[in-house]
Amino acid sequence: MRSFRERNPVPIGAAGLGVLVLLVVGSFQLSSLPLIGDRSYAAAFRDAGGLAPGNEVRVAGVKVGTVTGVGLATHDRTPYVKVDFRISGHVPLGEATEAHIRIKTVLGQKYLALEPSGPGKLGTGAEIPVEHTTSPFDVLVAFKGLAAEVGKIDSDQLAKAFSTLCSGAFASFGAQSVLQPPIRVGGAHRIAVGAGVFVGAGAWLQVLPGPDGEGFIEIGDGTSLAGGCVLSSAAEVRLGRRVLCARNVYVADHRHAFADGSRAVLDQGIEHVAPVTVGDGAWLGENVVVGPGVSIGRNAVIGANAVVLADVPARAVAVGAPARVVRHLDADGP
């Protein structure tokens, strides 16, 4: 017999390389290789619920195996989803064992949950019937269905119905006026809404007790308040006819007191209470703030993000914080 050194090194190296390759591949596929003591089963589902081969199989939250296959099968000409899986170790499964597809992560990854039940023993290779399985509630599908149903709702009709229902709570409420929900209202009995008024979703109409009694809000005929507008009164806030307020306009006839440094501003009440008037046909741009005691003239224009703390004459354009008049429209000429 020849010694090891005398042998041809080529076949020996090839065999060694082959063994090494098998070890490397086996290390990556170890979880999918059948081991001694492994048992294979199947479960029938009405739908796969996003389950995929390689997903975990768990009993009482503990991993006991792996899903090995998910495919379509038929029984008595009725199609169903057949899920093949393998479990390891001594996990007793009764004849009434149930299988459920559950959600593992917020990203939607699933796992197969087994609930051992019933007498006897579930034989290796047995299939859990569809009567003993459930699929997860699919949130995405549910929301798609909800979106489809919501899309069928006539939002204009809903707003009109809402306005009709709550109109009786106001001091007055003109014909064809619409409050688009959601909307927050405080002191509706001190709020007068003209005819043909539109108040967009997210608005807040608020009446507070002031030094001379409760405040009062008047919204003139044809005025339009886009979403997110706030009208707050402890004295009097009056918007004329056909006033146009863009989104997030804030109009208040008072301000929060804040002089006491030992107390929260929230606890110091209000101060500088004085009536506010916005003339007919004025236009208040997006995010405009109108403070107490201000009078804005007829057909005036207030630029977006302006903070109005002083009067603005009719047909004037005011911008900035604090706002200042930068143009008189009647002086422009033809």
38-70 confidence digits (pLDDT tens): 899 999 998 887 889 999 999 998 999 999 999
* pLDDT given for residue 135 in this prediction: 79
Q: Decide which of 143, 164, 194 is a domain's last residue.
A: 143
Q: Is the pLDDT of residue 5 over 80?
A: no
Tell me the HSE value of 36 on the side-chain side, using a 13 A CA sphere: 0
**pLDDT of amino acid 173:** 95
In a domain, 183, yes or no: yes
Are 89 and 189 found together in one domain?
no
Whether 173 and 317 share a structural domain: yes
What DSSP character marks residue 52?
-
CA 18/CA 176 separation, integer angstroms: 85
Which SS3 state, helix, strand or coil, does residue 244 take? strand
Closest CA to 322 of 306, 301, 311, 333: 306
How many angstroms separate the CA atoms of 185 and 169, rounded? 10
Per-residue pLDDT, averaged over 1-14, amounts to: 55
**Whether residue 172 sits in one domain with residue 314:** yes
Q: 102: buried, middle or exposed (CB in 10 Å: 19+, 13-18, 0-12)?
A: middle
Q: Based on the domain organization, do 269 and 318 belong to the same domain?
A: yes
Residues 167, 135 share a domain: no
Residue 107 clears pLDDT 80, i.e. is over it: no
The closest alpha carbon to 67, from 81, 55, 76, belongs to: 55
- Which segment of 110-114, 131-135, 169-173 scores lowest on mean pLDDT? 131-135
d(CA 73, CA 159): 50
Residues 219 and 240 in one domain: yes
For the chain, what percent of residues have pLDDT higher than 70?
81
Is there a domain that residue 18 lies in? no
292: preceding bond cis by omega (within 30 degrees)? no
- The residue ranges of DSSP E strands in 172-284, in sequence order, are 172-173, 178-179, 184-186, 191-193, 198-199, 204-207, 209-210, 213-214, 217-219, 224-225, 230-233, 237-239, 244-245, 250-252, 255-256, 270-271, 276-278, 283-284
The yes-or-no answer on residue 256 being catalytic is yes
For residue 198, pLDDT over 90 is answered with yes
For the chain, give the mean pLDDT: 87
How confident is the model over 10-25, as pLDDT tens digits?
555 555 655 565 555 4
Whether 314 is in a domain gets the answer yes
Domain around 138: 34-143
| Pair (167, 267) in one structural domain | yes
What pLDDT does 28 receive? 45
What confidence score (pLDDT) does residue 207 get?
Answer: 96
- Residue 291 in any domain: the answer is yes
pLDDT at 74 over 50: yes
Task: Enumerate helices (H) and strands (E) in the chain, giving the number of each.
Answer: 3, 32
User: Could you say which of 143, 168, 196 is where a domain stops?
Assistant: 143
Of 81, 111, 143, at which residue does a domain stop?
143
Domain-embedded: residue 280: yes
pLDDT tens for 248-300 read: 999 999 999 999 999 999 999 999 999 999 999 999 999 999 999 999 999 99
Q: Judge if 62 and 201 occupy the same domain.
A: no
30: confidence class by pLDDT, cuts 50, 70, 90 = very low
| 161/224 same-domain check | yes
pLDDT beyond 90 at 246: yes
Q: Would you say residue 28 lies in a domain?
A: no
Residue bearing tokens 């038929």: 74
Measured over the CA atoms of residue 121, residue 124, residue 126 and residue 127, the dihedral's sign is: positive
Check whether 175 has a pLDDT greater than 60: yes
Residue 148 located in a structural domain: no
pTM more than 0.85? no
Domains: count for the chain: 2
Q: Which of 75, 189, 256, 328 is catalytic?
A: 256
Residue 272: what pLDDT? 96
Does residue 11 belong to any structural domain of this protein? no
pLDDT value, residue 291 = 97
**Domain match, 129 and 165 both:** no
Residues 203 and 106 in one domain: no
pLDDT at 32 over 80: no
| Residue found under tokens 């023993």 | 121
What pLDDT is attached to residue 11? 58
